[in-house]
Amino acid sequence: MRFLNGPVSEPPPPPFNRKPAQGAGPIRADLAHHSGRTSQFAQAALLAGAAGALLALLFLGGWIWRLAISDLPAVPDRQTLWSLNRPPGVTFLDRAGRVVGQRGPLHGPPLTLKALPPYVPRAFLAAEDRRFYTHPGVDVFGALRAAAADLKSRGRSLQGGSTITQQIARTLFLTSDQTLKRKVQEAALAFRIEHLLTKDEILELYLNRIYFGDGAYGLEAASQVYFAKPAPALTLSEAALLAALPKAPTQLSPTNDLSAALARSRLVLAAMEQAGWITPAERAFALAHPPAVAGEPRSEGDFGYVLDLAGREAQAVNRTRTPDLVVRLTIDAELQTAAADAVRAAVVSGKARGVTQGALVALAPDGGVLALVGGVDHRASPFDRATQALRQPGSAFKPLVYAAALEKGLLPSDVRPDAPIRIGSWRPENADGVYVGPVTLSDAFARSINTVAVRVAEEAGPEAVGALARRFGLVNIPAKPSAAIALGAYETTLLDLSSAYAVFQNGGRRCEPYLISSISNARGDVLFARNPVPPPRIYDPVKAGEMVEMMQGVVTHGTGVKAALDRPAAGKTGTSQTYKDAWFIGFTPDLLAGVWLGDDRDRPMRGVMGGGLPAEAWRRFMMAAEKGAPPRAFDLVAPPPDPEKEEARRDFYGALADAFDQTLAETAPPEGQETQTPPQP
C-alpha cells in the first residue's frame, strides 16, 4: 500500500492454508498451534483497540460538543445577517437639522459583486482566501499552507489561516479571542453559513461588513473615507490597498501607516498575478501608479467637544440597542464657529502673558446649549475645560454672594465701608491695595471691591451663601464653607457658573442646561424627545431684577467696560488668586455666554484679568451672535410700591420742580423785551 509519496509497505505473510514452497521443510504442528493462538490474541487486541478508539472519539466528540457546539450562536436568516450585531453609528444634527458630525462606524449602502469591477473582489480573494470557491467554509489545506508560509517568512506572509466565511462568522457572532473554543465555533458557524448562502452572497456579505479602519465598515465606506470616491470607481491599485487592510485595519490604516499598507498591497498584486487574475502589464501599471489617500482622518472641526458631551448624554438617555442613531442638538452651527474663533483669538493674544487655553459656553434663555468650546484644539487635547475643568471663579462668584445678601434684606443702595478687614487670621485685600471708604453695594459690586464683598458675605452668613450657590446649580460648594467663599475660593466649572447666572437673566427661574433635543433611529422613530416644563422659580424676581441692574453697572462703568455692547448687557468679571484663572460671564435678554482663560498646568498668567482678554473675547462672540438682532431692554420686575417712599419721592421732586420754576422766573427778561435767538452752529 502506497501512502502519498512514501515508501511501499512490506508484503503480508502468506496464508496458513497455502502449500509450502518447493524445498521447504516439514510442517510442525506445535508451531501452527502457537501461531493460531497468537492470531486470536492479535484479533482481541485489535478489537479492544478499536473499541477504545471509538470510545475516545465519542468522548472527544462529547467534549467538543460541551465545550463549543452546545452554546453555538444560532445563524439567522440571510436578511438578518446584513445588520446582525452591526456597531451603531451616531449622526449629530444642529438645531436647524444640519449634520455637524458623526461618531462611531461609517456604513455605506450595500454593494453587489455585479456593481464592482472584477478585480475588486479578486483582490480580496488574493489577500484572504484564494480557494474560496472550492472549499466548504473551512480550508484545511489552505490553513496548513498558510501556517507553513508564515513560519518560513517569520510572519511576513500574505496568507491567513481563516477563510472569508470563517471571518464572517467571527465578525458577526464571536470574539477575536485566540482560544480552541472560538476556533471550533468559528468552523461550525462557517459550515452553517455556507449551507445558508451561496458563495457570491457570502463574498458580498464579507465586503459589506468587514472593518477597514478609521471607523469604516464595508467597502463603500472605506472607499469614501480613504479615496473620497464610490467603490465601483476604485482602480486596481486602490482595490489592492483596501484588500490589504482587513488583516490589521488599525495598524495598516493609510492614515496611520501608509508605507506598511502599500507594502502589503504590493503582495496582493503579486498574488493576483500569480493566480492569473491580472496580467503582468496590469500589475506593473498598478505599481507605477500607487493610490493617493484622500487626506487626514475624519475631522470634527470646532464640534469635537460638543460631540464628546453629546455622545455621553445620548448613551445615558438611550439604553436600547439600535443600529444607528440620529441625535438632534441645541447647538447653533454659526454660533459654535464664532465661539471657537473668539477663544482662539483670545489665546493667541494672551500667549505672551501665559494664556495657553480657553473655553466658552453659550446658553439660550431656556437652558439650551447654543455653543460649547472646551479648548483650543480638540484633536490635540480632548479634555473639556467648559464642563470638566474645576477652577476657582474668583470675583465671578460675587453675584451669588450679593444675591444671598439681598435675600437677607440688604439693598443695592446700602452703604458699607471699603476698609481693611480681618476675619480670624485671614486679611483679605483689594486687588489694587486701595481703599475708598464708604460705598454703596451697587458701586462696590461694579468695581469688584473685595472688602465689601467679604463684609456682605459675613452679614448674610457663609452657609447661606453656600446654600444659595447650590440652589443655583454649583454642586461643589460645601455645606459649611469658610469666609473665603466671598471671593470665590471654591472650584466650579464654566458651564455650571454660567448656568447660575441664567437665574438672574430669567427673573429668578432655574433652567437646567441641556444639549440634546431628541434622539431617533435611522428609520425616524423617536426614541427620546425632551419634554419642556416650566422652570421652577428659585429666587425672588424683584431681587433678580436688582441683581441685573447691578451687573449692568459692571459693563457700563465697572470692571467689565471692555465687554460693553450696542445694547443692554450685564455681567461680572473674575480673576482667581495669583492670576491663574480669568473669567467673564454675561448676558443680554436673549443670550448668555461665559468665557474662561488660563493654563492647563495651573501656572499663573502675567496680569491677565477677567476685565481684559475674557471680556474682549465675550464681546467679540456676542457681537457676532447678535448681529442684526434689534436691541432689547431687560424685562425687570419692579418692586411693589411703598406708600411712604412714594410720598417722599413726590415731595422731593415737587420741591425740585418749584425751585426750577423760581429760577426760570428770576432769569426771565422784563415783560415786553424781546430776546435774541443766538445763531445755530
Q: Assign 3-class secondary structure to 77-137.
A: CHHHHCCCCCCCEEEEECCCCCEEEEECCEECCCCCHHHCCCHHHHHHHHHHCCCCCCCCC
pLDDT of res. 679: 33
Distance between CA atoms of 251 and 257, rounded to whole angstroms? 7
Q: Which CATH number fits domain 109-288: 2.60.40.10, 3.30.70.890, 1.10.3810.10, 2.40.110.10?
A: 1.10.3810.10
- Going through 357-399 in order, the beta strands assigned E by DSSP cover 357-363, 369-373
142 closest CA partner among 98, 109, 174, 187: 187
Residues 392-517+538-582, CATH architecture: 3-Layer(aba) Sandwich (3.40)
Q: Which three cell numbers stand for residue 586?
A: 454675561
Please state the length of the chain. 681
Bridge partners (DSSP) listed for residue 586: 571, 593
C-alpha cell at 571: 455681567
The domains of the chain are located at 109-288, 392-517+538-582
**Alpha-carbon torsion (482, 486, 490, 495), positive or negative:** positive
- Coil, helix or strand at residue 489: coil
pLDDT for the residue 651: 57
- CA angle (180, 182, 187) in 5-degree steps: 95
Integer Rg of the chain from CA: 41
The confidence score (pLDDT) of residue 286 equals 95
Confidence at residue 669, expressed as pLDDT on a 0 to 100 scale: 45
* Residue 185 confidence (pLDDT): 75
Q: Output the pLDDT for position 645.
A: 57
Determine if the pTM surpasses 0.85.
Answer: no
C-alpha of 657 from chain center: 66
Between CA 583 and CA 123 the distance in angstroms is 58
The residues, any chain, with a CB within 8 Å of residue 366's CB and separated by 6 or more, are 511, 532, 535
Lateral strand order in the sheet of 592-598:
369-373, 357-363, 592-598, 581-587, 570-575
Which residues does the chain have with pLDDT short of 70?
A: 1-45, 48-80, 82-87, 141-161, 174-182, 295-299, 318-323, 522-523, 641-681
Around Cβ 557, how many Cβ atoms within 10 Å? 13
Q: What pLDDT is recorded for position 354?
A: 96
Q: Please provide the distance, in angstroms rounded to a whole number, between the alpha carbons at the two ends of the chain.
A: 130
Catalytic site includes residue 128: yes
Q: Say what the pLDDT of residue 301 is.
A: 83
Q: Letter for the amino acid at 99?
A: V
How many angstroms from the chain centroid is the CA of residue 239?
31
Q: Which three cell numbers stand for residue 622?
A: 456676542
Q: What is the 3-state secondary structure (H, E, C) of 642-655?
A: CHHHHHHHHHHHHH
Assigned C-alpha cell, 432: 489694587
Helix (H), strand (E) at residue 417: strand 415-418
Q: Give the residue from 519, 518, 500 showing the smallest Cα distance to 510.
A: 500
Q: Please tell me the predicted confidence (pLDDT) of residue 272.
A: 96
- Please provide residue 477's backbone torsions phi and psi, each rounded to the nearest 5 degrees: -80, 130
Q: Which of 237, 265, 395, 499 is catalytic?
A: 395
39 catalytic per annotation: no
- For residue 108, the one-letter residue type is G
Query: Please, is 216 exposed, middle or buried when counting C-beta atoms within 10 Å of its C-beta (0-12, 13-18, 19+)?
Result: buried
Do 109-288 and 392-517+538-582 come out as alike in CATH topology? no
